[in-house]
Amino acid sequence: MIAFGQFTEVLLGGLLAGFLYSLVALGFVLIFKASGVFNFAQGAMVLLAGLALVRSLDFLVAKGFPYWIAVVIALLFAAAIMALTAWVIERFVLGPLVNQDGLTLFMATIGATFIIEGAAQMAFGSDVYPLRLFPTDAIFMFENTFPGGILVNKLDLWGAAIAAVLVAGLAVFFQYTKTGRALRAVADDHAAAQSVGIPISWIWFVVWLVAGLVALVAATVWGTKLSVQFSITFLALKALPVLIIGGFTSVPGAVIGGLLIGAGEKIAEAYLGPYIGGGIEYWFAYVLALLVLLVRPQGMFGERIIERV
């Protein structure tokens, strides 16, 4: 017999973890929506942002700055680094590859991944750096509804709140601003967008910058959770099934996909894991994504793929 309280705790923990996955998946969706590039470098960008943030923060704190000022300066510094990265990638990697097919661009971003990983670790070091921006202690909730209450990590709540704000902001940006509309035009067709006077290199810079800033936000949460270290780049792989389920082109899809994966993973691990050996978290998300694809090849919220001969 499954205790309802325990089930709710697993479900809630999974949903909140799912928000954190969507934070990473968002970066992918942004770039894919705006440039048709499947950006494999997102995980590396999270690492770079995290390293820039934590190293400058440690440096400033050691110099005797008050903590909150140090945090603000470090965030600005990391944002500047992401802007620089966006410019370099646009100028030297993607700019020369305009109008190539998706696979080539995808490979180019894998190349960029190597460069970012190497450069980030060379510039900022390659140890494990703990980051403490958010409280990480666990609290009990709903103590009067369930006996004993439900154990929830405060960090997960912060992550969920941040993801919600981010999604709302991005949705507004894409729907109502001039740049947002230009971004969608570029995603539809590079050449056509250029021909109506949209400066494609500027648009791509903006997109990569926004993706970099999303990576920075993801880095603040994930860095607090896992410490900033190399293995944070594997988040990119974790975000892929989220993308598949949500669809490459849908911002809300990224969030819902993240929630589904997070909850499904935790429930499967808790109730299926004991029977077939633990660690199924490792592949569960992918198999779930595969099943979704068999039913809906464009993901749950992706735009319908129409093909003509």
Q: Which residues bind other proteins (CB under 8 A)?
A: 38, 92-93, 96-97, 100, 102-104, 106-108, 110-119, 121-122, 126, 237, 240-241, 243-244, 248, 277-280, 282-283, 286-287, 289-290, 293-294, 297-299, 305, 307-309
CB of 271 or CB of 283, closer to other proteins? 283
Q: Phi and psi of 41, rounded to 5°?
A: -80, 0
Closest CA to 125 of 52, 72, 220: 52
Give the C-alpha separation, 62 to 76, whole Å. 18
H or E element: which one contains 141?
strand 138-141
CB of 237 to other proteins, least distance (A): 7
CB of 91 or CB of 154, closer to other proteins? 91
- Tokens 């990391």 map to which residue? 78
Give the C-alpha separation, 56 to 223, whole Å. 14
Distances (CA, A) of 168 to 142, 156, 175, 284: 27, 18, 11, 29
Q: Which residue type does 272 have?
A: L
CB of 1 or CB of 276, closer to other proteins? 276
CB of 220 or CB of 229, closer to other proteins? 229
Give the C-alpha separation, 297 to 226, whole Å. 33
CB of 190 to other proteins, least distance (A): 15
H or E element: which one contains 58?
helix 42-62
Quickly count: other Cβ atoms within 10 Å of residue 271's Cβ. Answer: 12
Q: Are 174 and 33 in contact (CB under 8 A)?
A: yes
Quickly count: other Cβ atoms within 10 Å of residue 107's Cβ. Answer: 14
CB of 216 to other proteins, least distance (A): 21
CB of 77 to other proteins, least distance (A): 21
CB of 283 to other proteins, least distance (A): 4
CB of 104 or CB of 136, closer to other proteins? 104
- Tokens 């969920």 map to which residue? 160
CB of 12 or CB of 34, closer to other proteins? 34
CB of 110 to other proteins, least distance (A): 7
